[in-house]
Structure 1
Amino acid sequence: MRDISLLAGRLLLVVLFVVSGLGKWGNLAATAETIAAKGFPAPFAFAILAAGAEMLGALAIIVGVLPRLAAVGLAAYALVTAFVFHAFWGMPDPGAAEMQSIHFLKNLGLAGGFLCLPAPAPAASP
């Protein structure tokens, strides 16, 4: 039961990154515009990097190839994107701020979930 639970948990944890990564690949120009609006240099290169990180990180976790490294990488990615792209505290529009706060907190939760993956399994009780 533990193996099935871990597989289901890993799949559910990365589904957002698979969907988001596919969306970024499907419209790299829009992703680059969003990145450029935050003042990043070479926004198209960062758009490719973001789409690749989401897809490759999710795939690594799904198939179990370097899943701990991928989990730490996606945790870092989720934290960076939370603070850079969902900075709700500086928004004048309360509705937009509320929506961004939800995305911010979602990213924090995802980062927490990813950080649980590399943790060693608890020892079995006698």
Structure 2
Amino acid sequence: MDVLVLAGRVLFALLFLGSGFGHLTQRQMMAGYAASKGVPAPQVMVVLTGLQILAGAIMVAVGVWPDVGALLLVAFLVPTAFIMHGFWGETDPQSKVMEQTQFLKDMSLAGAALVMFAVFAYLGDDLGLVLLGPLFDLS
């Protein structure tokens, strides 16, 4: 069971590791996109959110307070869904579908991260294969 949970944690984190790395290595492009969506201080926000999702992903994958890592990912995903993927404001049908898909993806990943948080916090030290167990206790 421990190996399955570890594999799931690592697989879940892969998307965020790539995204966080992209935030930091493609700052100009990402900041331009963020600016087009009305994000204030886009250069700063791209770096901060890149670091946030990298930290969350590493914490989940490696098992350093994985519950906190899952919450960091939720704290990125929910605002991102609403700020960056507001499909309700799109007039072009193709853009609307694309943004709706991205919105739902972010919200679904946020839901998965919330489930991970709950499982990590409930299992506590029984989580297995972590460096530092969960910080929260929901048992």
Same fold (TM over 0.5): yes
Displacement of 1:41: 2.6
Which 5+ residue runs of structure 2 have no aligned equivalent?
A: 124-139
Look up the equivalent residue of 2:37 and give its one-letter code: K
Q: What pairs with 1:1-126 in structure 2 (closer than 5 Å)?
A: 2-119=1-118, 120-121=122-123
- Per the alignment, in what secondary structure is the counterpart of residue 117 of structure 2? coil
Displacement of 1:54: 1.4
* Root mean square deviation of aligned Cα: 1.2
Which 5+ residue runs of structure 1 have no aligned equivalent?
A: 122-126
Look up the equivalent residue of 1:14 and give its one-letter code: A
Q: Percent identity?
A: 38
Under a length normalisation based on structure 2, what TM-score does the superposition of the two structures give?
0.81
- Per the alignment, in what secondary structure is the counterpart of residue 39 of structure 1? coil
Residues 83-120 of structure 1, C-alpha deviations (whole Å, 9 max, x = no match)? 11011111011111111111111111110111112211
Displacement of 1:38: 2.6
Partner Cα separation in structure 1 for residue 77 and residue 108 of structure 2? 9
Q: Which runs of 4+ in 1 moved over 6 A?
A: none
Under a length normalisation based on structure 1, what TM-score does the superposition of the two structures give?
0.88
Instruction: Give the structure 2 partner of residue 124 of structure 1.
Output: none
Q: Is the 8 A contact 2:53 2:72 kept in 1?
A: no
